[in-house]
Amino acid sequence: MSDNDWTPDQPLVSIRDVHKSFGNLEVLKGVTLDVMKGEVICIIGPSGSGKSTLIRCVNALNTIDSGSIKVEGQEVHDPNLDKLDLRKKVGMVFQQYNLFPHKTALENIMMAPLKVLKQPQAEVEERAHKLIKRVNLGGKENAYPGELSGGQQQRVAIARSLAMNPDVMLFDEVTAALDPETVNEVLLAIKDLAQDGMTCILVTHEMGFAREVADHIYFTDRGVIVEHGPPATFFTEAKDPRTKEFLSQIL
């Protein structure tokens, strides 16, 4: 970060003309978007349009073939990138929760700050208790993931990610695997986070939720951003036929 002249008034995440192929299949064909600090953006689009691949590139879980992704001015597409340094700044929540099944909810939250950031036990424990209350799971501290419902696991996963104090959070279809009745509790936790000023990039199929919390909505199809805009205009004044078709199917 030494030779980095990034300042908070520049985009926190800056994606420029990103291309990515899996074998012969090009899933990202030149995607460009910016996320400012405190902004919440939602990426929507049909399955296989490259949404998840795009956000997985932001924390270097996937590599990109060309273009540039910068997080706080740090180039993610740099072979000498310190991935661990990047990932301390970027939190991620997955569709399948991916909690560590051999650890309790509280331990899941505390492990990374203790082992990765080497923060003192007492401080981490206090923060973990606060986080678990924040996602409305007070009393579940000592439950193992297997004893929690999908929605509860996903909220622990959010708290686990927040425990690292990230600057930006990535949400990869976090409600797609949930029972309908538990979707809301997870969305509430994310909304709470968004209103608190956390920078969020969400890949989602929850249009109502996107409309409510997003500052900006991007519609992707077949590896490109077809259309984007603030929710107020995006849902009512879509111009591209592909966007219109998608919205008519899903709304």
Partner 1 sequence: MKSGTRNNTDLAVLKPFNYSPTGSVHDLQFSRWLAEFSPRSLIFFVFLFSLWPGFALAQSNYSMAQALEALWRWLPFVVGQGFVLNLVVSFLTMLIGTIAGVLLGLGQISPLRPLARSCWFVTQLFRNSPWLVLLFIVMLAFPFEIEIGGRVFQIPDWLKAVFGLALPIMANISEIVRGAILSVPTGQWEAADSLAYSRHQTLWLVILPQCFKRMIPPWMNWYAILTMATPLISLLGVEEIITLSRQAMEAEDNHPELLVPFFGFALVIFFAYCYPIARYTLRLEKRFAIRQ
Judged by the rule CB under 8 A, the positions of this chain that interact with partner 1 are 59, 61, 83-85, 87-88, 90-92, 94, 96, 98-102, 111-112, 115-116, 157, 160-161, 164
The number of angstroms, rounded, from the C-alpha of 224 to the middle of its chain's C-alpha atoms is: 19
The number of angstroms, rounded, from the C-alpha of 198 to the middle of its chain's C-alpha atoms is: 11
DSSP string for 37-55? TT-EEEEE-STTSSHHHHH
43 or 164, CB closer to partner 1?
164
Distance between CA atoms of 241 and 204, rounded to whole angstroms?
Answer: 21
Minimum Å distance from CB 207 to partner 1?
26
Minimum Å distance from CB 114 to partner 1?
10
Minimum Å distance from CB 232 to partner 1?
32
145 or 242, CB closer to partner 1?
145
169 or 226, CB closer to partner 1?
169
157 or 225, CB closer to partner 1?
157
In SS3 terms, 89-107 reads as: HEEEECCCCCCCCCCCHHH
> Quick one: CA torsion of 173, 179, 181, 186, rounded to 10 degrees?
-30
92 or 131, CB closer to partner 1?
92
164 or 193, CB closer to partner 1?
164
Minimum Å distance from CB 58 to partner 1?
10
The number of angstroms, rounded, from the C-alpha of 106 to the middle of its chain's C-alpha atoms is: 21
Distance between CA atoms of 196 and 201, rounded to whole angstroms?
Answer: 15
Distance between CA atoms of 243 and 70, rounded to whole angstroms?
Answer: 28
Minimum Å distance from CB 174 to partner 1?
13
Q: Helices (DSSP H) in the chain: which residue ranges?
A: 51-58, 83-89, 105-115, 121-134, 150-162, 180-195, 207-213, 231-234, 241-250
Tokens representing 162 are 């927040």
Minimum Å distance from CB 229 to partner 1?
29
